[in-house]
Amino acid sequence: MNPYAYDISDETPILFPVRMQGKWGYIDKSGKLKIQPQFNGASDFSEGLARVKVTKKNISKYGFINASGDAVIEPKYDYAEDFSEDLALIRYGDEHSGKFGFIDKSGNTVIEPRFEYLGFTKDDAKFVEGLAPVRIDGKIGYINKSGKIAIRPQFDWGMPFSEGLALIKLNKKCGYIDKNSDYVITPEFKSAQSFVEGLAAVLVDDMLGGNWGYIDKKGEIVIPPKFYFTKHFSEGLACVNLTTQTPLINMLRPFLGFGPPPLPFLYDRCTYIDKTGQRAFKETFDGGFPFSEGLAAVKVGVWELNYGYINRSGKYIIRPKFDNALGFSNGLARVMVSDKLGYIDITGKYIWEPTN
């Protein structure tokens, strides 16, 4: 699973959002403009529809368009998220006092807005494997697509299900539950990530640094906790930060206010490992992102960052020259040069020259 990949159904033409003179439109894979720039914000297409933002008199509303640029759902929500499993989260009111609900692709309200602000990344408030996390009276639970409570609100924090398990936090410890609300892995970790490709990254102890490792679905540690920070596996490899800092620096880190993700000068360079925990290649970088379509975006430099793309052998296929870069999807990758957005193909050729 690649979090940077655009989720586009087979029936929908593959389109990519672009920005021109402050307005957003869409291009096709060849770089031809298909939907004229007219929106104040635009997301990738998801399940045949794309979320767009329209701002008038400093008031922004969200709606959804189809691949022809037609407004399928008029911009009327104070906030909305992309569609996932045929439903999209919407909100009326402001972020903290407003209520969240879900609509279908016709714009019908399927689940009335009655849920509280989740308090974490909004795009994690979505249906996955038939359930979605919601907050009620300050606690996280899960609902089904009818809006009925499937898992009673009882957790301090919770993520969507992934590979049959959901990451939750209770009393400052992370664990994993199944769809029956049973603990498959009891809360015991200081921090954790969702399961991807059968493994999940967990933080065993953050006082001395270098204590991220990976567990399997039985909760058994399969890659020892020895990394400063980790990302999820993608295409069989995961980016990890190697730890060579002295214990003194790492012990002082919490008292200096440095928490993960750490500041650049407090950790060593990163590399990629396979599922046995072995390094995939000797090359190291100042940052890295999950592999997608055989390539991974990596950065070099600490204060002035340059992004390029490597292959599974750690060799540069596209030399570092971008200010930011995302993963490849459908043959293209989104890159930034200064504040301008562009798209490149796997050779590094611009399909869409950077514009703003």
Torsion-angle region of 171 (φ positive above 0: left; ψ -120 to 50: alpha; else: beta): left
Half-sphere CA count of 28, side-chain side, radius 13 A = 8
Say if CB 313 and CB 25 are below 8 A apart: no
Which DSSP symbol is given to 93? S
- Distance CA(111)–CA(86), nearest Å, equals 12
Q: Please give the model's pTM, rounded to 2 decimal places.
A: 0.87
Q: Is the peptide bond before 320 cis (omega within 30 degrees of 0)?
A: no
At 254, is the secondary structure helix, strand, or coil?
A: coil
How does pLDDT run along the chain (356 residues), one tens digit per residue? 333 333 434 467 899 999 999 999 999 999 999 999 999 999 999 999 999 999 999 999 999 999 999 999 999 999 999 999 999 999 999 888 899 999 999 999 999 999 998 765 555 789 999 999 999 999 999 999 999 999 999 999 999 999 999 999 999 999 999 999 999 999 999 999 999 999 999 999 765 556 899 999 999 999 999 998 899 999 999 999 986 554 444 455 455 444 444 444 444 689 999 999 999 999 999 999 999 999 999 999 866 679 999 999 999 999 999 999 999 999 999 999 999 999 999 999 999 999 98
Residue 124, pLDDT score: 76
Q: Phi and psi for 259 in degrees, rounded to 5?
A: -120, 165
- Distance CA(291)–CA(1), nearest Å, equals 9
Residue 96, pLDDT score: 82
- Distance CA(91)–CA(71), nearest Å, equals 18
Say if CB 53 and CB 15 are below 8 A apart: no
* Residues in CB range of 84: below 8 A, 6 or more apart: 7, 46, 47, 126, 127, 128
